Amino acid sequence: MSMQAARLSVSVPLALAETVRKRAGTRGLSGFVARALENELERERLGAYLAELDSKVGPVSDDALDAARCAWHKR
């Protein structure tokens, strides 16, 4: 299956570019960056969804947040 691609030109700090190139390795920079962009878009969609929930049902209580933090640290 062939996927169309678009060429983008971006500028990033030199140290970040070097780190990403090392991390991407033989998998390729384009695939690494595409996955990073997809992940960022998903985080933004999740943030918008959580904000919508907050506006509809109210924010999560401090007690519930404390309980979740305690449960998370047990793992």
Share of the chain above pLDDT 90, in %: 85
Phi/psi-derived region of residue 36, left when phi > 0, alpha when psi is between -120 and 50, beta in every other case = alpha
pLDDT exceeds cutoff 60 at 11 = yes
pLDDT exceeds cutoff 60 at 52 = yes
Predicted confidence at residue 26, as pLDDT, reads 86
pTM attached to this predicted model:
0.73
Predicted confidence at residue 27, as pLDDT, reads 84
Predicted confidence at residue 58, as pLDDT, reads 95
Under 8 Å CB-to-CB from 12, ≥6 apart: which residues?
Answer: 20
